Amino acid sequence: MATPSDNIQSQSDAQNGSSKIQVLLVDDSAVIRGALARILENFDDVEIVSSVANGEMAISSARRKQPDIIIMDIEMPVMDGITALPEVLKTSPNSKVIMFSSLTEEGADVTLKALSLGAVECIVKPCSSEPIGEGSLFQRKLIETIRGLVPKKARSGATLSAVPEKTEESFSLRKDAMAYTGKPSLIMIGSSTGGPQALFEVLKNIGTPDIPIVVTQHMPAKFTTMLAQHIQQHSSIPSFEGTEGMAVEKGKIYVAPGGYHMKLVQDETFKTIIKLDEGPPIHYCKPSVEPMFTSALEIYGRKALGVMLTGMGNDGINSSKDLVEKGGRLIAQDEKTSVVWGMPGAVAKAGLCADVLPLNEIGPWIRKALAG
């Protein structure tokens, strides 16, 4: 519970803020906190406002500092990250929490729970042999994630105020009288940052689909295995991580596995199956939305329905253009409900979308489409 002195300190800290992205580090290892601090101190637009060793301390620091970003470990003494997360978000509701997780099945499972509780992204802890210094892939991933989550217009200012409201960027809906408006034969979903929560919300509200659904969510290996399991728990729809040669069947969901691009192809009997591609990243992503959308269009054509949910970057923009040019439909999540309006914003601003909707309206929209 906040005390009067806590509130005074909170106001004081916020008023002393800057236009830099303010980051709180939470990890029981001082070595890891130090390594993260050294990486981030290389960037002029980032400021470490506090570094603490457990979840209990994180709650106190979040209350006082109101940071833009919190990078939090999961397993810690005194109070772990999962226990602390709801209280951290309650005391600092505008903070974006990134979970710092180990690349294990257990770590992936717990991280997915954290994402369902309000964390917006996960970053995998590098192994001891992985470079993390200047120019490393880890450094680039970390800083791009932080900057993507806190655009300049939302960074801490010099006066105490709420985070500025999002100003909706302009876009126009696609008006194509020849576009297919019947029942789709396939649903294709692309998502990234903030995607797991969005997927859970959408898929639990579409009813019982009698067509296949394919999903590309930007996540590493092991995490996508757990993502499929969590999707099934939330939606009650049979869900699987895609594997080589797996048949694509009606009424089931298939998630692209981390580290592979997932494509749809037809075998010699014209049955649709999954093909995994180990090619290079596309738009810096592997899996990428592009090969999934593109390959699906070769089979389903204009009867494929595209859905673009929250995420950084513009992965899927090229194949989305192909989709609408073939007479298919694409819908996207709106800016206000997106954690990051990158992927959905790219297709919306390109004029490719039949509809741009708040997250809670996307599931019902798909359900209506499935009813024909």
Percent of the chain with pLDDT over 90: 80
pTM: 0.88
In a domain, residue 213? The reply is yes
Beta-bridge partner residues of 22: 47
- Domain with residue 241: its CATH number is 3.40.50.180
Residues contacting residue 273 through CB under 8 Å, at least 6 positions apart: 245, 246, 247, 248, 264, 265, 266, 267
In a domain, residue 334? The reply is yes
In a domain, residue 356? The reply is yes
In a domain, residue 168? The reply is no
pLDDT band at 352 (very low <50, low <70, confident <90, very high): very high
Do 340 and 273 lie in one domain? The reply is yes
CA-to-CA distance for 23 and 56, rounded, in angstroms? 17
pLDDT band at 156 (very low <50, low <70, confident <90, very high): low
Q: Which domain holds residue 323?
A: 186-370
In a domain, residue 289? The reply is yes
In a domain, residue 181? The reply is no
Q: Is the pLDDT of residue 163 over 50?
A: no
pLDDT of residue 14: 44
Return mean pLDDT, the chain. Answer: 90
Do 191 and 310 lie in one domain? The reply is yes
pLDDT band at 165 (very low <50, low <70, confident <90, very high): low
Q: Is the pLDDT of residue 11 over 90?
A: no
Average pLDDT value for residue range 95-110: 87
Q: Are 13 and 66 in contact (CB under 8 A)?
A: yes
In a domain, residue 23? The reply is yes
CA-to-CA distance for 339 and 196, rounded, in angstroms? 11
**Torsion sign across C-alpha atoms 205, 337, 107, 73:** negative
Do 206 and 90 lie in one domain? The reply is no
- Domain with residue 121: its CATH number is 3.40.50.2300
Number of domains within the chain: 2
pLDDT of residue 46: 96
Q: Which of 120-124, 200-204, 276-280, 309-313 has the lowest mean pLDDT?
A: 120-124
How many alpha carbons lie under 13 Å from residue 367 in its C-beta half-sphere?
A: 14
CA-to-CA distance for 92 and 24, rounded, in angstroms? 12
**Torsion sign across C-alpha atoms 21, 26, 27, 28:** positive
Residues contacting residue 201 through CB under 8 Å, at least 6 positions apart: 359, 360, 362, 363
Do 314 and 258 lie in one domain? The reply is yes
pLDDT of residue 155: 65
Do 216 and 340 lie in one domain? The reply is yes
Choose one of 154, 178, 195: the last residue of a domain. 154
Do 202 and 307 lie in one domain? The reply is yes
Helices (runs of H) and strands (runs of E) counted in the chain? 12, 14
- Strand 304-308 and strand 329-333: pairing? parallel
Do 116 and 263 lie in one domain? The reply is no
Average pLDDT value for residue range 75-85: 95
DSSP 302: G
In a domain, residue 348? The reply is yes
Q: Which residue from 60, 52, 50 is spatially nearest to 22, judged by alpha carbons?
A: 50
Residue type, 347: V
Widest pairwise Cα distance in the chain: 72
CA-to-CA distance for 190 and 205, rounded, in angstroms? 17
pLDDT tens, position by position, 172-215 = 999 988 899 999 999 999 999 999 999 999 999 999 999 999 99
Do 243 and 340 lie in one domain? The reply is yes
Beta-bridge partner residues of 25: 51, 71
Catalytic site residues?
192, 218, 315
Do 87 and 197 lie in one domain? The reply is no
